[in-house]
Structure 1
Amino acid sequence: MWIIFIGLVLAGLLVALLVTYVVRVALTIILIVAAPLALMFHALPQTEGIAYWWWKAYGGCLAIQLGQSLTLITALKVSSPPADFTVFGPTASGSSTCSSLSR
């Protein structure tokens, strides 16, 4: 029962990740297409707010990508074993068996 629950949670997280990725890419494409028009709004003081909104939205899209990549790197570092640990346990010299065989 517990493994089924964990599998459902992981599947839900994967779907959320894929939806977030698709929405972020679509929003980035829309913002890039609208860039010339948005930057044109810097010309008048009345439309300056629209141009600032575009900069904030584009910066947010780039920040989300950075945050997702840092989260992935952290998850991989936390979940992977250290280099001096093999399937049979830690090595006596502190280095992995594969690196000592290649010497």
Structure 2
Amino acid sequence: MYLIVIGWMYVVLMMSVAEAMNTTGSVLGAIVTFFLYGLVPVAIIVYVMRTPQRRRERRAQEAAQDAARAAASAQPDAGRETAGAAEAGGVAPVRKEP
């Protein structure tokens, strides 16, 4: 995919140079040509074509975070509480007798 992007950007660069060097062309026209024929369409195409890869990376990151949370909750609390008390949201508050 990136080879096609590099090739297309080369073609657009040459179109822009030809626009700038032409006797009836202008540098502004060359810049507009480069952006409208090159950067904008290529950015859109690369973004769309990378969507599945970004989705896989996000799912892998979420799975790693879930695994880390599961490993952290499986270990007992470092204090005097049991693992069950830590998972249940802690120990009930202690009230003073009147």
TM-score of the pair, normalised by structure 1: 0.42
TM-score of the pair, normalised by structure 2: 0.44
Larger Rg: 2
